[in-house]
Amino acid sequence: MSIIAAFCYGFFGIVLGIIALVIARNDMQLHRENPGEYDGYPNLSAGRVCAIIGLSLGSLFFIGLFFLFFLSAIVN
């Protein structure tokens, strides 16, 4: 979700990426405490990677948008 939102507007990608990373961290801790009870660790890893990608893309988009507005203010 954060990868898709990163292309719509960078802020939503950043927010959803942070939320996904927090959820992934909590679930990784649950898995470490009781590894036999949870079997979706590969899905957790894939979700964490997608969150990092979405967070990175959202941040790059947001920084690019900031510089675009900054440069347009200088030109005008």
For residue 6, pLDDT beyond 60: no
Average pLDDT over residues 58-74: 85
What residue ranges do the domains of the chain occupy? 2-75
Is-above-0.75 flag for pTM?
Answer: yes
The Cα 73–Cα 35 span in angstroms is 54
**3-class DSSP state for residue 32?**
helix
Residues 13-54 have pLDDT tens digits of 788 889 999 999 999 999 899 888 888 888 999 999 999 998
For residue 3, pLDDT beyond 80: no
Kindly state the tokens that stand for 54.
Answer: 């979405």
Q: What's the confidence (pLDDT) of residue 47? A: 92
